A and B are shown apart, each in its own frame.
Chain A
């Protein structure tokens, strides 16, 4: 198509027309945008294009290699599916913003330099937050505000990092960076916030579950995955990422077990899956990076599918807490089915997608002799089945019958879920199609007898544990509650501190103003006495005439001010 046109621009600018279109025209146009953008992507040659000069910098706004191509492909698939999913909406804002946001994320993975990366990075943050606010509840309003502030922190760290990196003699080309330089470290932290590193993760579990039904689906696909892409490009083989990733795989599953809001359970599960990808980046071998890319690809689909099924539940029942749901398989059989496919995929059942992607990362860890890492990931794999694979479908669709009878999800939602389920299963059954897209050549073979049997053992015995605990009454019941997480720090003591600062600064400023006013009145009064027309000092003034003029003017002015 058009030479050097960044496909991201199609997705960023195209949706501006959506609000003025109506009915079927709008539907067709909205669906066409990701398709057009994909065609444009497909015709682009590899390498860097679209130079732009800003200040004394040369930006490469478009850069294509195998890794960015792969992310660009899955971003298009996700954008298309999410668009289908949101077709039932009358609120054109959400459809438009969803595509703009997807376009910004696309811009990030196609950025050839750090400045372009920064621009799309920030634009993605700003556009995405509207998907949270669009729910229009008081809690989503505040959660969106917190979300935006944290995204802006990430953006500012990125900005500062890029500047320090460039100052230290680095080029602005987006390529491997050095973690041991201040600039590299700041960029690393900026990526880390978006990638939900431990303690920097709270925005994700705080805000995503507050978004609209469709908003969470869109959100789940892009922000964190573009961060994974950025980490894989800039920091492959950084050892600390292995440890960060391992903590990410392990700690959220504990929260997931006791969390009541099922979409929040899924956000914890997101961090868990991101953990695997981060470990893969940390290992940094070809197999590991392949695993990261492949798993990101698969995760976007099955996590999207799970969020879609929960979104449908929320839309139809108005409820999303495990304690309020149950027995919905009777009302929403198709949604139930799609949810189970998503659950099987995330749990890495043989023939489902994570089985052929996650295992690459674990295999890579084993090849490098990382015993502890491998064991933690095995634990997390059992855990993910436990909380995402079983808990989500079980408490929403089965468990005890909540008595809720509702309509099945709208057709557009079902189609979107079917699409995601189909692509996801395709990957699981024909992994070679996905492997062909990977950044490095691979001979990895997932379907060995050992792998299939051991994986089934792991999963089914996890299911056994769940069943046993549930039947014994040991399993923690779903309760109306919130669990404090890292966001407690800024929502409780942080907020208190902010209020105190606000109060004291405001009263301090007022006090200073009043005392200055008083001082100047006193000065005027004194001046009037001594320097006025009859004052002694007015008669002799030894310095140059200019100084005299200043004093004269000052005197006149102050007296005028005092009397007036």
Chain B
């Protein structure tokens, strides 16, 4: 039986879709059979982040309305043999799907896949309720900003009220230089406020923009430090005990040199 993981945040633009894409691909690179569901109906983006936008025939709404079979709508990733995407509809809106239907879909997919990753839309309305309906566990993405942390706190409350106990947290876009100058909240600050378990820290990395532009999730790249951060998160999801990335070391002269060399070759 597979596990359904919902990636959510409350606030928009903190990196839910990027995180979903990277966790999905990362898990499949570890040999797991993974399907990613884009639950953001009306504003689909996971397909472009994954570089699969040209191959969409059917979408989530077609599956739910039984216009096609699940297998017909799944897009197989060519880079990873075990990775599939169920894209969302671009022309419909959130009310096209009911939580019960999502639950049924998740239970159907659970039989065949090891992991079902759901990319949740921003907000706490219908789209959010759909996305969390069938989930077993939740990962909350936030950035070290007041608005994002506040929304994350609200989302954690809502998840717990919906029987998704002990969600885990990813702190995205951490800038160690700013933290050191006291200009940005540190990981410890955010953890103190949000009392949930931390599953990963992703540094702010130009590589995210580069790889998203290319439609190649950063987790597959050895050049960038954010790729390492996502690989660590994947290992933690699989139950391994990996220490949190030491951003101090990552910015040291030698590691910069090392990355420069690997980038050249």
Bound pair: A and B?
A: no
